[in-house]
Amino acid sequence: MRRGKTEKEIPRKRRVDIRSYRSQAGPRAYVEDPRELSPDQKKNMLSAGVDPSQKGRSGTYIQMDHDVVHANSLYPGLEVMSSTQALKQYEWLDNYFWKLVPVDTDEFTGQARIQPHHGYFLRALPGVKAAYPLQACLFINDDNIIQNVHNIIIAEEGSDLQVITGCATASDVRRGLHIGISEFFVRKGARLTFTMIHDWAEDVSVRPRTAALVEEGGTFLSNYICLKPVKDLQMYPKAELVGRGAVARYNSMLFAHPGSHLDAGSRVILKAEGSRAEVVARAVSAGGDIIARGHLKGEAKGIKAHLECRGLMVAAKGLIHAIPELEGTVEGVELSHEAAVGRIARDEIEYLMARGLSQGEAQAAIVRGFLDTSIMGLPDPLQKEVDKAITVCEKEMF
Amino acid sequence: MLKIKNLTVKVSGKEVLTDINLDIRKGQRMALLGPNGSGKTSLLMAIMGFSDYRITRGDIIFNGKRINDLSIDERARSGIGVMFQRPPSIRGVKTRQMVQLIKRDGFDIDRDAEELKLKEFLDRDINLGFSGGELKRSELLQLVAGSPRLSLFDEPESGVDLENTVLVGRVMNRILDRDKDNAALIITHTGFIFDYVEPDEGCVLVGGRVHCMGDPKEILETIKKHGYGWCVTCEGERLKRKSRGKGG
């Protein structure tokens, strides 16, 4: 498996020392109704797209630090539980763990193996199509702890599953380390729409290790939104399209505040004939660093894939480094990319100012437009929820 | 309402307007005629304060206050509005959102968008892929929303078919008629818009200088007969006569 930078290659000041975090936390009590959580917790969950009222949701999983505080499905045919509970319930599930993300990938996968703290198990049974998304929240409530989760999502044959995942911290949390192993299985003709919103704190380090397997005629749509400050994030999720006509699309909306370092990419390996992929990233640096990676590998005839990265520098400092990679190994692949890093056009700002918007308001309107989530192709109810979460985030963007 | 005194403007070091003097009174509709590249749009951009248009001499006074040093948005908020000829498109910023941000009290977005045949454009990125006529109508919708005291119209009829020119004219009148003191500077090089919005004074800009002031329809007729070149000569003759008169 190709990897991003290993931890040893990362400059010392950003290197994560696992031992510097507390491995003990909690305990956190289970709640029958997520509305029983504290107002501060609920507020922070909402800004990551997780609604404790469960309005417009098909089910909810909430994990706080190392404990499952709520897991419940509201829709027949959708399963929601912790991955540890699921392992007890389903013997076959053992084969799904570490199948797509090798356990020896790096020290973080190793750490998640040695000291696992649950994670979610979400599954749509064959043919089940739910109009509303499941929601999952991985919450850090204690300062300076490490949270290692292992998540499994299975969209069984012909199902349609939407998931909105919010990762957040309590307001008084400053430092922490989140390691998230996620393995997604999109079976024949199934569709998984996975939307992840990150709302961490200024000194939280985040190391997701995610991979998806998409079978014949399956569609995997992955959206990632990170608009709030975070110390550093490093992730390079991968989708393998192994069945004819499988489709993957990754959209990322990244906003780097001063002091934030986001190293985020998306990789698709097109292994089956006629499979298609699209990777779209929008990156805004308001003083922080963004490494926007993308890698498309065509290994079968008649595949088609496109990579697009657009970056916007809105402060005097900061960095946007777009690294698109295309790799074809057989005849008849069609791979393309486009990347652009620039600043906001002055004529656009002045145009809005001529309508009476201040320079700051004009800039904010243009940046919000640049991070337009309508390009994600989300189902209507999910789009509304994502927009709601983004509106909350935007208040802190400028 | 707007007084321009001895205004000289440079763009990228090149003088594009020289010693302009112009006075638009309250309630007045001033037509500004001139050939392509004569500096009409530059004058409008300088009045609005766009950064490429550097004032090297002279003053712009709006409602008794010198506005040379005000930012673009301060000028807009003080009551100056523009209908641009070639507005930029902005990805992700929807027309509806834009109008909501700038609207003054009493503006009904759906009613006005309906009148300007723009309902289906409200949720599209502003100006992106709009035709010539759609751009004009979108610009007008924003002007209606902002309800300026002084409107600067830059070639409101260019690229617009006849039916839509009637519509553009009607909405321009509505903006101006909202208050008897509302004034306008209407840039045109064809004068077609005069059939719908009647100006009460006209001036001609050629080579970055004002050459003639007077009845706009007369000026237009003269230009149709003799071309803009004549305006320059005409003013030359007038000045000569004036100086001869002084001398005699």
Q: How many structural domains does chain B have?
A: 1
User: How many CB pairs below 8 A link A and B?
Assistant: 68
How many angstroms separate the CA atoms of A288 and B10, rounded? Answer: 37
- What mean pLDDT, rounded, does chain A reach? 91
pLDDT band at A2; cut points 50, 70, 90: very low
Shared domain check, A164 and A87? yes
Does residue A1 fall inside a structural domain?
Answer: no
Nearest to B97 by CA among A324, A203, A357, A159: A357
Shared domain check, A142 and A88? yes
Shared domain check, A373 and A328? no
How many angstroms separate the CA atoms of A42 and A35, rounded? Answer: 8
| Alpha carbon of residue B162 to chain centroid | 20
Is 0.80 topped by the overall pTM?
Answer: yes
Shared domain check, A133 and A26? yes
Q: What is the pLDDT of residues A227-285, one digit of tens each?
A: 888 899 999 999 999 999 999 999 999 999 999 999 999 999 999 999 999 999 999 99
Mutation target to probe the B interface, by most B beta carbons within 10 A, among A253, A255, A282, A351 is A351
What residues of B are in contact with residue A345 (Cβ under 8 Å)? 88
By percentage, how much of chain A surpasses pLDDT 90?
Answer: 74
Q: What is the pLDDT of residue A102?
A: 96
Shared domain check, A241 and A133? yes
Q: What is the pLDDT of residue B139?
A: 94
Shared domain check, A352 and A329? no
Task: Name the helix (H) or strand (E) containing B96.
Answer: helix B95-102
Examine the fold and report which residue of A344, A369, A385 is the final residue of a domain before the chain moves on.
A344
Q: What is the pLDDT of residue B101?
A: 86
Shared domain check, A389 and A245? no
What backbone phi and psi angles, to 5 degrees, belong to A145?
A: -105, 165
Mutation target to probe the B interface, by most B beta carbons within 10 A, among A251, A353, A359, A370 is A353
Q: What is the pLDDT of residue B92?
A: 87
Shared domain check, A289 and A267? yes
Q: What is the pLDDT of residue A272?
A: 97
Q: Is the pLDDT of residue A77 over 90?
A: yes
Domain of residue A191 covers 7-344
Q: How many structural domains does chain A have?
A: 2
What residues of A are in contact with residue B50 (Cβ under 8 Å)? 350, 354
* CATH code of the domain containing B52: 3.40.50.300
Answer yes or no: do B88 and A351 touch at CB < 8 A. yes
pLDDT band at A310; cut points 50, 70, 90: very high
Shared domain check, A165 and A221? yes
Does residue A153 fall inside a structural domain?
Answer: yes
How many angstroms separate the CA atoms of B212 and B236, rounded? Answer: 10
What residues of A are in contact with residue B125 (Cβ under 8 Å)? 369
Angle at which helix A39-46 crosses helix A380-394, to 10 degrees, equals 110
Shared domain check, A286 and A169? yes
Residue A237: asked if its preceding bond is cis (omega within 30°), the reply is: no
Does residue A2 fall inside a structural domain?
Answer: no
How many angstroms separate the CA atoms of A14 and A110, rounded? Answer: 19
Shared domain check, A207 and A68? yes
Q: What is the pLDDT of residues A312-351, one digit of tens each?
A: 998 889 999 999 999 999 999 999 999 999 988 999 999 9
Q: What is the pLDDT of residue B246?
A: 44
Shared domain check, A370 and A338? no
Q: What is the mean pLDDT of residues A148-161?
A: 97
Interface predicted TM-score of the whole assembly (ipTM), two decimals: 0.92
Q: Please, which residues have CB within 8 angstroms of residue A134's CB and are 6 or more apart in sequence? A: A57, A58, A59, A60, A61, A73, A78, A80, A122, A161, A162, A163, A164
CB contact, 8 Å: A89 with chain B? Answer: no
CB contact, 8 Å: A354 with chain B? Answer: yes
Those residues of chain B whose CB sits closer than 8 Å to some CB in chain A are 48, 50-51, 71-73, 75-77, 81-82, 84, 87-88, 90-94, 97-98, 101-102, 125, 142, 146
Q: What is the mean pLDDT of residues A47-70?
A: 93
Q: What is the pLDDT of residues A281-300, one digit of tens each?
A: 999 998 999 999 999 999 99
- CB half-sphere exposure, B130, CA atoms < 13 A: 30
Q: What is the pLDDT of residue B248?
A: 32
pLDDT band at A397; cut points 50, 70, 90: low
pLDDT band at A1; cut points 50, 70, 90: very low
Domain of residue B232 covers 2-247
How many angstroms separate the CA atoms of A311 and A283, rounded? Answer: 5
Average pLDDT per 10 consecutive residues for chain B, totaling 248 residues: 95 94 94 90 96 95 95 95 94 89 83 86 91 91 92 92 88 91 91 89 90 84 81 60 47
Q: Read out DSSP for A213-240?
A: EE-TT-EEEEEEEE-S--SEEEE--EEE
Q: What is the mean pLDDT of residues A44-65?
A: 92
pLDDT band at A386; cut points 50, 70, 90: confident
For the record, the structure tokens of B93 come out as 């910023």
